[in-house]
């Protein structure tokens, strides 16, 4: 049985804010989302006041004031920086580290025998001492159980082991279904239909019945709750599969021009983020929604996907595609509240290459520069590399998974472009 630890920073954003402002310690602190829209982090004191995750600020301002709640706008640059420091420390404790989110990591802890708990306490002490961030650690044979252990660790003294069947059963008996990793409101209702209302019932349920009525994820979860590991540790950071940029509007948008401007900006930002990861794509999706909180207003939510003939990392082409997708979503008279652009089917720019033959009549350097110019125009600046031998120029870009083709035929390349 290979023990897995989940290390989770307590109230991460709120703890980060406290690092540099000691006066925040011991007081209720909340951190707000992007446009100071809603609560995305709470200190324990704020939780004790009953402030809910996701609570809209404009509805709770008065209550916050009354209780002396300290409110901060979010500072993602700071949180990212502190996160990297915490993760670096964790990486010194094990070679098996999976950074799961900005404030959580799974650690493989093989070979510690009965010193597991002492080791966990050492990790906890070190992170706190070196960064000032308090963490909780749950240890179990599977990730799902480690998650549950972590939740109980937070209620206790910061470390919780669930390495035996007895300990696991006792722990699951203390939790609600929705405390489990992967069960939220909708799934809770679906499980209730087949008579499952507690984590222990889920653990003991027939996996085949679960798969039929609640999907393959729940089947896997039941196995994980029994201590059968189905979700392995990933210590390599996987390549992104999609990159998104989206925003809610401060007020409803009703003109096509405004909506187009917003979507163009998002497409550019998403493309820039994609290039930073040396990826490119042929698939651009745009989505729009009305304000779901205004239930008396007519609701509209839709998305459209455009597939380009060739993959690219070039902003202009992606913006163009996004605009085309938006044209199919536009409806006059609709009060748009949010829009976004998602780049899908991302692939490595360097994973595709091709050969082209240049004219022997021009000097080699000129030929290369001409080739580079053409490829840059096609795929976006700095996304193409060339290597030449004789008249042959090998260019590298990216492979396209489904829809985009690549070709070494200049005419077709230019026509497509």
| 304 lines the binding site for DNA (CB under 7 A) | yes
Please, what's the largest Cα pairwise distance for the chain? Answer: 81
Distance of closest approach, residue 282 Cβ to DNA, in angstroms: 10
| 215 lines the binding site for DNA (CB under 7 A) | yes
Nearer to DNA, 237 or 360 (CB): 237
| 246 lines the binding site for DNA (CB under 7 A) | yes
| 225 lines the binding site for DNA (CB under 7 A) | no
Exactly one of 29, 245, 280, 310 binds DNA (CB under 7 A); that residue is 245
| 52 lines the binding site for DNA (CB under 7 A) | no
| 285 lines the binding site for DNA (CB under 7 A) | yes
In whole angstroms, give the CA distance from residue 353 to residue 281.
Answer: 15
Distance of closest approach, residue 151 Cβ to DNA, in angstroms: 9
For 369, how many CA atoms within 13 A lie in the half-sphere containing its CB? 5
Exactly one of 10, 27, 33, 47 binds DNA (CB under 7 A); that residue is 33
Place of tokens 């490829």: 375
| 40 lines the binding site for DNA (CB under 7 A) | yes
In whole angstroms, give the CA distance from residue 305 to residue 269.
Answer: 18
| 102 lines the binding site for DNA (CB under 7 A) | yes
Find the radius of gyration of the CA atoms of the chain. Answer: 26
Which region among 133-141, 161-169, 197-205, 332-340 touches DNA (by CB under 7 A)? 332-340
| 87 lines the binding site for DNA (CB under 7 A) | no
Distance of closest approach, residue 118 Cβ to DNA, in angstroms: 26
List of residues 6+ apart from 89 with CB closer than 8 A: 126, 127, 130, 131
Which region among 192-200, 250-258, 313-321, 353-361 touches DNA (by CB under 7 A)? 250-258
Q: Virtual CA dihedral for 329, 333, 335, 340, nearest 10 degrees?
A: 10
Encode 101-131: b = buried (16+ Cβ within 10 Å), e = exposed: ebbbbbbbbeeeeeebeebbeebbeebeeeb
Count Cβ atoms below 10 Å from residue 324 Cβ, excluding itself: 14
- DSSP characters for 175-215? S-GGGSTT--HHHHHHHHHTT--SHHHHHHS-HHHHHHHH-
List of residues 6+ apart from 398 with CB closer than 8 A: 279, 280, 311, 347, 348, 349, 350, 351, 352, 383
List of residues 6+ apart from 163 with CB closer than 8 A: 1, 3, 116, 139, 140, 141
Q: How many residues bind DNA (CB under 7 A)?
A: 58
Encode 297-323: b = buried (16+ Cβ within 10 Å), e = exposed: eeeeeeebbbbbbbbbbbbebbbbbbb
Distance of closest approach, residue 22 Cβ to DNA, in angstroms: 25
| 252 lines the binding site for DNA (CB under 7 A) | yes
Distance of closest approach, residue 390 Cβ to DNA, in angstroms: 37
In whole angstroms, give the CA distance from residue 229 to residue 235.
Answer: 16
Nearer to DNA, 246 or 383 (CB): 246
In whole angstroms, give the CA distance from residue 282 to residue 318.
Answer: 8
Nearer to DNA, 295 or 365 (CB): 295
Which region among 91-99, 257-265, 309-317, 333-341 touches DNA (by CB under 7 A)? 333-341
| 338 lines the binding site for DNA (CB under 7 A) | yes
Q: Using CA of residue 229, residue 235, residue 236, residue 238, what is the dihedral sign? A: positive
Nearer to DNA, 21 or 73 (CB): 73
Distance of closest approach, residue 97 Cβ to DNA, in angstroms: 16
Distance of closest approach, residue 15 Cβ to DNA, in angstroms: 13
Distance of closest approach, residue 319 Cβ to DNA, in angstroms: 16
| 192 lines the binding site for DNA (CB under 7 A) | no
| 47 lines the binding site for DNA (CB under 7 A) | no
| 302 lines the binding site for DNA (CB under 7 A) | yes
Distance of closest approach, residue 139 Cβ to DNA, in angstroms: 16
Interacting residues with DNA between 55 and 84 (CB under 7 A):
56, 58-59
Place of tokens 């961030």: 133
Nearer to DNA, 116 or 343 (CB): 343
Interacting residues with DNA between 125 and 184 (CB under 7 A):
147, 180-184
> Which residues sit at the interface with DNA, rule CB under 7 A?
33-35, 37-38, 40, 54, 56, 58-59, 100-104, 147, 180-188, 215-217, 238, 240-252, 273, 283, 285, 291, 293, 301-305, 307, 337-338, 340, 402-403
């Amino acid at each position: 049985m290979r023990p897995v630890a989940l290390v989770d920073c307590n109230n991460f954003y709120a703890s980060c804010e406290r690092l540099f402002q000691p006066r925040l310690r011991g007081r209720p602190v909340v951190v707000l989302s992007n446009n100071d829209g809603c609560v995305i982090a709470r200190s324990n004191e704020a939780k004790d006041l009953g402030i809910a995750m996701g609570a809209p600020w404009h509805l709770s301002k008065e209550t916050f004031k009354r209780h002396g709640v300290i409110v901060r706008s979010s500072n993602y640059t700071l949180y990212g920086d502190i996160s990297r420091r915490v993760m670096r420390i964790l990486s010194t404790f094990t070679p098996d580290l999976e950074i799961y989110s900005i404030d959580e990591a799974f650690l493989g802890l093989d070979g510690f025998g009965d010193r597991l708990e002492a080791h966990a306490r050492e990790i906890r002490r070190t992170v706190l001492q070196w960064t000032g961030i308090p963490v909780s650690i749950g240890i179990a044979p599977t990730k799902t159980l480690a998650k549950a252990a972590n939740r109980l660790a937070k209620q206790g003294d910061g470390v919780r082991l669930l390495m035996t069947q007895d300990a696991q059963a006792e722990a699951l008996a203390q939790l609600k279904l929705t405390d489990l990793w992967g069960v939220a409101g909708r799934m809770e209702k679906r499980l209730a239909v087949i008579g499952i209302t507690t984590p222990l019932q889920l653990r003991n349920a027939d996996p085949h019945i679960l798969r039929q009525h609640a999907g393959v994820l729940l089947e896997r979860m039941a196995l994980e709750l029994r201590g059968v590991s189905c979700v392995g540790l990933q210590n390599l950071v996987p390549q992104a599969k999609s990159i998104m940029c989206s925003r809610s509007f401060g007020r409803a948008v009703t003109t096509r021009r405004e909506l187009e401007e917003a979507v163009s900006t998002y497409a550019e930002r998403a493309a820039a983020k994609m290039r930073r990861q040396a990826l490119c794509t042929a698939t651009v999706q745009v989505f729009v929604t009305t304000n779901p909180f205004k239930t008396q207003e007519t609701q509209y939510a839709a998305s459209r996907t455009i597939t380009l003939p060739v993959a690219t990392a070039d902003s202009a082409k992606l913006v163009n595609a996004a605009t085309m997708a938006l044209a199919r979503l536009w409806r006059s008279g609709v009060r748009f509240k949010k829009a976004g652009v998602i780049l899908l089917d991302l692939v490595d720019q360097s994973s595709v290459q091709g050969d082209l033959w240049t004219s022997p009549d021009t000097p080699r350097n000129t030929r290369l520069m001409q080739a580079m110019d053409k490829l840059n125009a096609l795929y976006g600046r700095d996304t193409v590399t060339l290597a030449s031998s004789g008249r042959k120029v090998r260019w590298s870009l990216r492979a396209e998974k489904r829809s985009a083709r690549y070709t070494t035929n200049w005419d077709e390349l230019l026509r497509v472009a």
